[in-house]
């Protein structure tokens, strides 16, 4: 897969699981055929390279065709079965898929991984880094009858993964042109930019990052005495607190370059949040982005990659990781959306 993959979504179904009963919003974009990028853009690069011209081919060409798609989609949604409980509780072709992952292979053998740890420690001792988030990537070989990856197989694998590891930020992507997909079950939100509701006059935006550093497995009996003991042990663990604090400082530094002066704050430091299978130590760092400053895309580019998966200082540490692990690609990356 490429290092980055973007998609312009001109139609979507957004399901609000928070409402009772859940509500679905069906959205479709209609292209204004009379609009021309050269007429509306003052950016010389846009005019020179036709950067915006591709948008003319997006969306529906008429309101009637968009309305037809919306009506057809709404009709299909009304035919959905009335599930009770989470979708992940319903076995949809997941039993067999969960057993099809065979021959698990680490990218680094045990001896190679231990050698990489020793190398990282030596580089830290030499002052090249404060913290290196070294990982080991695993790959699996599918059985011959399941070797061809399809959207349906990716969905089945994702549902199996979500059933075993429910998380707030689950996601499934499928790119038909690449014949590749991404399945993710993550508890961590990397970055969010929203209008600043405390100061609507200035047009500032609020940026928030919630790094996770520090994890322990939950007791099978949720909220048992043992489960609470594990959470408290994580809260007081000196190593985990040190790692979390270093990433908080890294993120404060990242945001300090793009935020309005004096607005970087840490409203939540080393708080324990409990998920289905793990307790995790989470901090919250936020700031104000001035209306005449960096845009939302620029904020993402400046803060990427997530410090909780790299270490500090970020640039040098990512170079170290690339040497010790090799290119990570989409593994440990992030996915998300921009919305008008």
DSSP state of 74: H
Confidence of residue 140 (pLDDT cuts 50, 70, 90): confident
User: 311 - beta bridge partners?
Assistant: 132
Q: Give the rounded percent of residues in the chain with a pLDDT score beyond 90.
A: 52
Just list the catalytic residues.
188, 213
pLDDT digits (tens, 9 = 90+) for 249-291: 999 999 999 999 999 999 999 999 999 899 999 999 999 999 9
Q: Is the pLDDT of residue 13 over 70?
A: yes
d(CA 4, CA 312): 23
Q: Give the rounded percent of residues in the chain with a pLDDT score beyond 70.
A: 84
User: 340 - beta bridge partners?
Assistant: none
d(CA 301, CA 291): 17
């Amino acid at each position: 897969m490429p290092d980055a993959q973007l998609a312009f979504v001109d139609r979507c179904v957004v399901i609000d699981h928070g409402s009772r009963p859940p509500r679905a919003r069906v959205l479709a974009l209609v292209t204004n055929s009379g609009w021309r990028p050269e007429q509306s853009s003052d950016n010389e690069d846009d005019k020179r390279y036709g950067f915006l011209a591709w948008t003319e081919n997006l969306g529906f060409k008429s309101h009637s065709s968009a309305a037809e798609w919306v009506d057809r989609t709404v009709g299909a949604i009304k035919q959905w079965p009335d599930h009770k409980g989470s979708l992940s509780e319903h076995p949809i072709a997941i039993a067999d898929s969960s057993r099809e992952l065979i021959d698990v292979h680490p990218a680094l053998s045990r001896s190679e991984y231990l050698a990489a740890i020793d190398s990282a420690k030596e580089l830290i001792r030499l002052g090249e880094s404060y913290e290196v988030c070294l990982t080991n990537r695993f790959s699996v070989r599918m059985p011959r009858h399941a070797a061809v990856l399809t959207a349906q197989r990716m969905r089945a694998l994702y549902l199996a993964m979500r059933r075993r590891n429910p998380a707030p930020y689950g996601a499934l992507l499928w790119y038909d042109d690449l014949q590749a997909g991404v399945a993710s079950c993550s508890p961590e939100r990397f970055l969010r930019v929203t209008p600043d509701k405390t100061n609507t006059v200035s047009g500032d935006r609020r940026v928030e990052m919630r790094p996770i550093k520090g994890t322990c497995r939950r007791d099978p009996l949720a909220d048992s005495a043992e489960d609470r003991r594990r959470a408290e042990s994580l809260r007081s663990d000196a190593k985990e607190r040190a790692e979390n604090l270093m990433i908080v400082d890294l993120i404060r530094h990242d945001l300090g370059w793009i935020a309005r002066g004096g607005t970087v704050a840490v409203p939540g430091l080393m708080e324990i949040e409990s998920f289905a299978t793990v307790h995790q130590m989470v901090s919250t760092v936020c700031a104000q982005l001035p209306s005449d400053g960096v845009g939302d895309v620029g904020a993402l580019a400046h803060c990427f990659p997530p410090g909780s998966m790299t270490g500090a200082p970020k640039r040098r540490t990512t170079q170290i990781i690339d040497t010790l692990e090799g290119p990570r690609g989409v593994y440990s990356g992030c996915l998300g959306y921009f919305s008008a």
